Amino acid sequence: MANTKTHVALAIALALGTAACSEAPAPSEQSQQAATQQVTAAERQAESEKANQLFEDIFKQAVMRSPMYQSYLGIKDDQDQWDDISDAKADEELAIAKENLAKVEALDEAKLDEQTYLSWQLMKQDLEEQIADYQWRHYNYPVNQMFGLHSSVVSLLINQHRISEVEDAEDYIARLNGLPELFVQLQENLKLRAEKGIMAPKFVYPYVISDSQNIIQGAPFDDGEPSVLLEDFTNKISDLDIDQAQYDALVGAAEQALTQAVKPAYEGLISAVEELAQQADTKDGAWKFPDGEAFYNNALKRTTTTDLTADEIHEIGLSEVKRIHDEMRVIMQQVGFEGTLQEFFVHMRNNQDFIYPDTAEGRQRYLAEATALIDTMREFLDELFITKPKADMIVKAVEPFREKSAGKAFYQQPSMDGTRPGVYYANLYDMASMPTYQMEALAYHEGIPGHHMQIAIQQELEGIPSFRKFGRYTAYSEGWGLYTEMLPKEYGFYKDPYSDFGRLAMELWRAVRLVVDTGIHAKQWTREEGIDFYVSNTPNAEADARKMVERHIVMPGQATAYKIGMLKIVELREKARTALGDKFDIREFHDVVLANGPVPLNVLEQFVDVYIADKQG
């Protein structure tokens, strides 16, 4: 196949002017070709090198302004610090974005090579959206049951802050000592939002308080077992080549930081959250915010990278729920169940044969079998992919300190240098919420061929700027994840009909998300109405439904990305298969989707159109 990265780039760049969320006009293909014909190869190379250096500078400078993001990428330069999350910093970031946009617009786009022109359009769009979204910067909940600094600082220290020498340990201690200042900024952010009428509903606060209290339990805060942070720190420094005196000194300094900095920081945050809880109401949707409708419409636009309205997304969801229910009825008949689909849901929900014991052995069995599923899929990759990731991936259980409130499953990207593998996290806090009939689809989505293939390949791409390697478009990434739950079915996987039912159950879950997210944020559904819709239309446990609806509430629009993205990828694949017939190659199609990094969905469609034209000659 011709190099997809060079063949598709120009046509995609030409289409970007019509991208959802972008206001930049698109030049015609003829005018762009005419312009490029007048540019010498030397001029094109020089301007493209200049542009790519600017893109790299913009990305690296942004990374270096965020010590926490540095840690996620495996960079140690500022690992003794936390991010500045003040409103003044937000103003500074806005000014920087405007300066960078001016620099990007000053480039002569007519002199850029195809791939660089695509990067130029994507960077320009990213900066324009960052500037436009400044008005919505307070329209979120900085602490909630899904995410927030109260849990992410601990997760970062445990999962990203590596200790390979004494200086790393000292940086860890410095970060512990820096928590009070960070949490003061966090409390100021919460107060500012409350003054604007942007407060999480009442149910959120007990989760935040409980998670925060968990961090300051155990030694050295009390006489119990080592706290989660002390245990992490001592485990890490135990691997250092140091004498007992150095070890004792480091542990002593960490214990002092925990009791004199971490504990008061969390106690202050807990007090502030308790005060907010007294003011909170039970209204769940973004419609309650000032200009809430405009905010939610913008959130849908950013999340889906389409112009679909809330009503359109709602109707797509209802249609998909009906289709999947019909497919489930076929499996229900196949396994000989007599009764209604809703009765089959209850049967699956309560069938203990699909639930491993709520014990250490049960959890270990789940992790081992999920790993085996991924290992089997690894052996099949040559049938489906041309480009494959170099980085490894592993399966882990979500850590105890955050398992009660964390999502069902998620993926953590490898470090930039590849020394830390990608991780599929399975939340095994409630084994009843992780039935084995869903295990196969979950493993494919979060691991291989899902997020690990997509994100690790993205980070390892050559010849494109870093902002594209590490960027995200939720509909693209989560659409791919959901697509890769379905993909193995077409190649003989899901041999067990119950496992195939699990695949459909997970797709159904994402279809219901379209209905409930728009229901809550655009149609003023209550939390209980959302939960009832999940319970009535899916086989998942009520605990799953409650957690999902609570996620909808604190992350408006985000959950619509999965099904909208998957539907577009499937649509484009069938478009290519129909147009190409015997020339269609699934491996080439997947390369078209993955080999240029993440893009908006309409840009992905242009990738596929150029691929079709190229194959047709």
SS (H, E, C) 83-144: CCCCHHHHHHHHHHHHHHHHHHHHCCHHHCCHHHHHHHHHHHHHHHHHHHHHHHCCCCCCEC
Q: Where does the pLDDT of residue 406 fall: very low under 50, low under 70, confident under 90, or very high at 90 and above?
A: confident
More confidently predicted of 264 and 6: 264
Residues in the chain: 617
Q: Is the pLDDT of residue 8 over 60?
A: no
State the average pLDDT over residues 402-425.
85
Distance of CA 489 to the CA centre of its chain: 24
Report how far residue 293's alpha carbon sits from residue 285's, in angstroms, rounded to the nearest whole number. Answer: 10
Report how far residue 350's alpha carbon sits from residue 449's, in angstroms, rounded to the nearest whole number. Answer: 30
β-pair partners for 39: none
State the average pLDDT over residues 203-216.
96
Q: In this structure, are strands 422-426 and 409-412 parallel, antiparallel, or unpaired?
A: antiparallel
Closest by CA to 457, choosing from 485, 418, 498, 408, is 418
Stretch among 229-233, 415-419, 459-463, 511-515 having the lowest mean pLDDT: 415-419
Q: Is the pLDDT of residue 27 over 60?
A: no
Question: For position 18, what pLDDT does the model report?
Answer: 36
Q: Is the pLDDT of residue 286 over 90?
A: yes
State the average pLDDT over residues 122-143.
97
State the average pLDDT over residues 122-144.
97
Q: In this structure, are strands 409-412 and 393-397 parallel, antiparallel, or unpaired?
A: unpaired
Tokens 């970007």 identify what position?
A: 16
Q: Is the pLDDT of residue 4 over 50?
A: no
Which residues have a Cβ under 8 Å from the Cβ of 335 and sit 6 or more positions away? 497, 498, 501
Q: Is the pLDDT of residue 313 over 50?
A: yes
Report how far residue 524's alpha carbon sits from residue 420's, in angstroms, rounded to the nearest whole number. Answer: 43
Stretch among 41-55, 146-160, 412-426 having the lowest mean pLDDT: 412-426
pTM comes to 0.86
Q: Is the pLDDT of residue 571 over 60?
A: yes
At 572-602, the pLDDT tens digits run 999 999 999 999 999 999 999 998 899 999 8
Residues 465, 595, 577: CA angle, nearest 5 degrees: 150
Please tell me the chain's helix, strand, coil percentages from 3-state DSSP, rounded to the nearest 5.
70, 5, 30
Token pair for 6: 């060079």
Q: What sections of 160-215 are H helices per DSSP?
A: 166-195, 204-215
Q: Where does the pLDDT of residue 19 fall: very low under 50, low under 70, confident under 90, or very high at 90 and above?
A: very low
Q: Where does the pLDDT of residue 37 fall: very low under 50, low under 70, confident under 90, or very high at 90 and above?
A: low
Report how far residue 80's alpha carbon sits from residue 159's, in angstroms, rounded to the nearest whole number. Answer: 15
Question: For position 405, what pLDDT does the model report?
Answer: 67
pLDDT, the chain, mean = 92
Q: Please state, for a pLDDT cut of 70, what percent of the chain lies above it.
A: 94
Q: What sections of 258-340 are H helices per DSSP?
A: 263-279, 292-304, 310-334
Local structure of residue 388 (DSSP, 8 states): -
Question: For position 24, what pLDDT does the model report?
Answer: 36
- Cα Rg, the chain, nearest whole Å: 25
Question: For position 296, what pLDDT does the model report?
Answer: 98
State the average pLDDT over residues 336-360.
94
State the average pLDDT over residues 381-391.
94
State the average pLDDT over residues 123-127.
96
Q: Is the pLDDT of residue 527 over 50?
A: yes
Report how far residue 306's alpha carbon sits from residue 605's, in angstroms, rounded to the nearest whole number. Answer: 12
By the 10 Å C-beta count (0-12 exposed, 13-18 middle, 19+ buried), 500 is classed as buried
Report how far residue 548's alpha carbon sits from residue 409's, in angstroms, rounded to the nearest whole number. Answer: 12
Q: Where does the pLDDT of residue 402 fall: very low under 50, low under 70, confident under 90, or very high at 90 and above?
A: confident
Residue 472's CB is within 10 A of a number of other CB atoms, namely: 11
Report how far residue 503's alpha carbon sits from residue 496's, in angstroms, rounded to the nearest whole number. Answer: 11
Q: Where does the pLDDT of residue 12 fall: very low under 50, low under 70, confident under 90, or very high at 90 and above?
A: very low
Q: Is the pLDDT of residue 562 over 70?
A: yes
Token pair for 172: 């860890």
Q: Where does the pLDDT of residue 401 fall: very low under 50, low under 70, confident under 90, or very high at 90 and above?
A: confident
Q: Where does the pLDDT of residue 16 fall: very low under 50, low under 70, confident under 90, or very high at 90 and above?
A: very low
Q: Is the pLDDT of residue 13 over 50?
A: no
Report how far residue 425's alpha carbon sits from residue 428's, in angstroms, rounded to the nearest whole number. Answer: 9
Q: Where does the pLDDT of residue 403 fall: very low under 50, low under 70, confident under 90, or very high at 90 and above?
A: confident
Q: Where does the pLDDT of residue 122 fall: very low under 50, low under 70, confident under 90, or very high at 90 and above?
A: very high
Local structure of residue 423 (DSSP, 8 states): E
Report how far residue 437's alpha carbon sits from residue 433's, in angstroms, rounded to the nearest whole number. Answer: 11
Token pair for 563: 């099904």
